[in-house]
Amino acid sequence: MSVFAQGAAAQAWPAKPIRLVVPFSAGGANDLMARAAAEGASKLLGQPVIVDNKPGAGAILGADVVAKSAPDGYTFLVSAAGVVSNSMIKKSMPYKDDALVPVAMIGLAPSVIVVPANAPYKDLKEFVAASKKSGSGFHWATAGTGSTPHFVEGILQTKYGSKLDVVPYKSGSESITAVLGNQVEATSEASIVVLPYVKGGKLKALAGTWTQRISAYPGLPTATEEGFPEIRIAHWAGVHAPRGTPDAIMDKMAAAVDAAMKSPEISKRLKDLGIEPIGGTRASFAKFVDEERARLGSVVKATGMKED
Q: What is the pLDDT of residues 137-191, one digit of tens each?
A: 899 999 888 889 999 999 999 999 999 999 998 888 899 999 999 999 999 999 9
Q: What is the pLDDT of residues 159-171, one digit of tens each?
A: 999 999 999 988 8
Q: List CB contacts of 53: < 8 A, sequence separation 6 or more.
A: 22, 24, 25, 26, 31, 62
Residue 7: pLDDT band with limits 50, 70, 90: low
Maximal CA-CA distance, the chain: 67
Q: What is the pLDDT of residues 29-64, one digit of tens each?
A: 889 999 999 999 999 999 999 999 998 888 899 999
Q: What is the pLDDT of residues 59-117, one digit of tens each?
A: 899 999 999 999 999 999 999 999 999 999 998 999 999 999 999 999 999 999 999 99
- Residue pair 234/108 in contact (Cβ under 8 Å)? The answer is yes
Read off the pTM. 0.89
Q: How far apart, in whole angstroms, are the C-alpha atoms of residue 290 and residue 207?
A: 26
Residue 236: pLDDT band with limits 50, 70, 90: very high
DSSP 243: T
Q: List CB contacts of 87: < 8 A, sequence separation 6 or more.
A: 93, 96, 97
Instruction: Compute the mean pLDDT over every residue in the chain, rounded to the nearest whole number.
Output: 93
